[in-house]
Structure 1
Amino acid sequence: MKDLKTCREEIDAIDKEIIALFEKRMHVAKDVITYKLAHDMQIFQKDREKEVIQKNVDRLEDKSLESYAKTFVQDTMNLSKSYQSTFIPLKKYEATEIKENFKVGYQGVPGSFSNQAMKSWFGDIEGINYPHFEDVYQALEKGEIDYGVLPLENSSTGAINDNYDLLTQYGFYIVGEQSITIDQNLLGIKGATLEDIKDVYSHIQGLKQTSEFLNAHHIEGHEYLNTAAAAKYISEAQNKHIGAIASSEAAKLYNLDIIAKAIQNDQSNHTRFIIIARQYEIRPSANRISMVFTVNHEVGALYEVMRVVKEHNINMARIESRPLPLSPWEYYFYLDIDGNLNQDHVQRALQEIKTYTNTFRMIGNYERKES
């Protein structure tokens, strides 16, 4: 058995050789990226990586070290890619002005939270309302509107998955975000009391956000197209035994009483609305970046993306997964990070992230607002 002192001396000698070879390898990696950039070649090639890893693993004499060798070679290649990404020229993104005489569409009716979010972002404008989320996307695709306003996430009930899926399906971009406080109120016709209400109508999110109140008062919830449309419906029905869960603005618009105020489960209830457009719009005030990507269905694939974000000292604000059509148990990943595309470290991080993904699409770099 070797003594500890001898082992340490041998490791030190081996490390000296490894560092010399590492330095030499990194210099060659620089030569590779320089050549590829000069000849407009594809920078990173996944198939080539797999060949290199397997070729080196096959050189092992002690096959019990195979898994460790794979990790060693992969980590070395990751360092090379990170170093190579520093030689890729950075872009300069010019600021985009908001269109003149623009039209905005939203899902719902006047008095809805989407309508409120639209006015918070664009000011007191008359938008065009549509019954369903996809109607807004279709209107944008046809050129009927220039911007769409849609809910993407609620602080208490989570993601609104339909809009994540539609965002990818239609290939549009996020150009703004408006977060608004959501106070859900129980509305009824004039003179109705809490004891009168047996059934309520609202959007599924409204029902989820007020589930504790409804259960406590034994009120049956019924899903409706949206909160303001539910208020309009009970106003027209004039039945004191049915109510709606909607905003105070909807109560004013449809001449209803607020029977119980702020009945949401979470009193800090907020909904994040996105402003979508057909093209990128990037402004100096942009502070959030959204992207969607896919990775190999294998151990550590998503970790590599998260590692890049961490190593570039970027805050990851959110990650959401959605099923990949026709590929069971595989997913799109929607990732939000803080930053602006004109920041050098952000651009370098995004260049590196692309090397670990199968597909990658930048959804937008935009300003976040709260009201």
Structure 2
Amino acid sequence: MSSDTDALSGLRQEIDRLDREIQKLINQRAACAQQVAHVKMAAQGEENAVFYRPEREAQVLRAIKDRNEGPLGAEEMARLFREIMSACLALEKPMHIAFLGPEGTFTQAAALKHFGHSVVSVPLGAIDEVFREVESGAAHYGVVPIENSTEGMVNHTLDMFMESPNKICGEVQLRIHHHLLVGAGTQPDTITKIYSHQQSFAQCRQWLDSHWRKVERITVNSNAEAARRARDEVGAAAIAGDMAAELYGLSRVAKNIEDRPDNTTRFLIISKQDVPPSGQDKTSVLVSMRNQPGALYHLLEPFHKHNISLTRIETRPSPNGTWAYVFYIDFEGHVSEDRIQNVLKDIEVEAVELKHLGSYPVGVL
């Protein structure tokens, strides 16, 4: 017993020593971040200095994952460094991040996953408000949903890119888990109505039909709003995620009720800045083609010609005419590359309009 106690004591002392060393190194890193801020402000001016560099952060996080040897997994290690980097960046300049609110939404969870918890979160009521907040400079960056693996594209976000000067500077994917939640005054057998966002109802349709077919389903603007109502109304339940459950103090009647186990939403980071290449990038464009036979072929042929992989293509009605359409396209590569420049030149010959929405790092976390 004595030898076991001695061994445990020795291990704890080693952990304490490592903790002190880690803390010292983190503070040294933070001091370096402050020096970086001073250099940037001296070179660019305090108002014009750019502190957050999406391509640099992507490169750092990729390197962390690549060199990780365990026992912690690469994703977990990268998340730890994400928070360290977030705290260090806040010493340079606290960032204001607009997102589709209210607090407790999956969009907020995506924002914190991408930027870390040392940012100022700015919840807004609609996607167009997020775009305007960034465009006006009131927020440094915005986070908006763009597509879900179950329900497809978020059309409002696509439509905003047609008129907004904002650029895409990043992406983040969030695994979406839905739970059936109730407040303290509601028991499962007393549930008479379920609140949620229309997307969440759609993503849980089969489960609801099997378990709560006869209960009224009421659509609200967000899952967080659904959670608030479930907290305040006896007999009400909500479909929402972990963040909303914790924020509003709700209990889980059922966990992970989404119909597809791989249910994932992709979010875009928007800003007013162009992003240099990170080494593993995507480019997004909007293209309006002439309404004539072979238009789609002429749009896609340059990608085949230059061996560029498309990751997404969607069609939206054009605001400029009846039965006219705009193509939203994501593809691999950065606009600074010659091959991407050649693709865009070929498309421009055939297109009525070509709008570059941004080149940005492929999501790391």
With normalisation by structure 1, the TM-score equals 0.70
Give yes or no for the alignment of 1:301 onto 2:295: yes
Instruction: Work out whether residues 288 and 352 of structure 2, in 8 Å CA contact, stay in contact via their aligned partners in 1.
Output: yes
Q: Percent identity?
A: 30
Match of 1:359 in 2: 353
> Contact 2:183–2:232 (CA<8 Å) still a contact in 1?
no
Is 1:278 the counterpart of 2:272? The answer is yes
C-alpha separation between the residues in 1 aligned to 2:195 and 2:269?
27
For 1:284 and 1:346, the matched residues in 2 are separated by 15
Distance 1:220 1:353 in 2: 50
The residue correspondences of 1:1-371 to structure 2 (distance < 5 A) are 98=52, 100-124=93-117, 125-190=119-184, 192-216=186-210, 217-218=212-213, 219-237=215-233, 239=234, 241-369=235-363, 371=365
CA positional deviation for 1:286: 4.7
Task: Map Cα deviations across residues 95-138 of structure 1 (whole Å, 9 max, x no partner).
Answer: x8627433110011222111110011111123111111111112
Question: In the superposition, relative to structure 1, how do residues 307 and 187 fare at CA in structure 2: closer, same or farther (>3 Å)?
Answer: same
SS at match of 2:252: strand
Instruction: For 2:261, give the aligned amino acid.
Output: Q
CA distance, structure 2, for counterparts of residue 227 and residue 151 of structure 1? 14
**Alpha-carbon offset, residue 233 of structure 1:** 2.2
Q: Which amino acid in 2 is paired with 1:221?
A: R
The one-letter code sitting in structure 2 at the alignment partner of 1:347 is Q
Measured in 2, the distance between the counterparts of 1:214 and 1:110 equals 25
Amino acid at match of 1:180: L
**Separation in structure 2 between the aligned mates of residue 212 and residue 370 of structure 1, nearest angstrom:** 32
Give yes or no for contact 1:287–1:340 (8 Å, CA) kept in 2. yes
| Larger CA Rg, structure 1 vs 2 | 1
Q: CA deviation at 1:369?
A: 1.7
Structure 1: gaps spanning 5 or more residues: 1-95
TM-aligned CA deviation for residue 158 of structure 1: 0.4
Describe the shift of the 1:285–1:113 C-alpha distance in structure 2 as closer, same or farther (beyond 3 A): farther
User: Which amino acid letter does the alignment assign opposite residue 139 of structure 1?
Assistant: E
Q: Which letter does structure 1 place at the counterpart of 2:94?
A: N
Give the superposition deviation at 1:293: 1.0
Residues 226-235 or 193-202, more deviating: 193-202
Query: Shift of the alpha carbon at 1:303?
Result: 0.9
Q: Distance in 1 between matches of 2:51 and 2:315?
A: 32
Aligned residue for 2:147, secondary structure, equals: strand
Paired residues in the alignment total 274
User: Is the alpha carbon distance of 1:354 and 1:97 closer, same or farther for their aligned partners in structure 2, counting shifts above 3 Å?
Assistant: farther
Unpaired runs of 5+ residues, structure 2, are 1-49, 54-92
- Asked whether the equivalents of residues 175 and 281 of structure 1 are also in contact (C-alpha less than 8 Å), the reply is yes
Contact 1:192 1:259 in 2 (8 A): no
Are the aligned partners of 1:97 and 1:281 in contact in 2 as well (CA < 8 Å)? no
Residues in 1 aligned to 2:359 and 2:169: alpha-carbon distance in whole angstroms: 7
Residues 200/160 of structure 1: CA separation in 2 closer, same or farther (3 Å cut): same
Give the partner amino acid of 2:241.
Answer: S
TM-score relative to the length of structure 2: 0.72
The question of whether the paired residues in 2 share the 8 Å contact of 1:155 and 1:271 is answered with: yes
What is the Cα deviation at residue 368 of structure 1? 2.4
CA contact (8 A) 2:312 2:331 kept: yes
RMSD, matched Cα: 1.7
Q: CA deviation at 1:370?
A: 5.3
Q: Residues 320 and 334 of structure 1 are in contact (CA less than 8 Å); yes or no, is this contact kept in structure 2?
A: yes
Contact 2:168 2:358 in 1 (8 A): yes
The residue that corresponds to 1:76 in the other structure is none
SS in 1 for 2:113: helix
Q: 1:330 to 1:180 in 2, by over 3 A?
A: same
Letter aligned with residue 265 of structure 1: D
Amino acid at match of 2:224: A
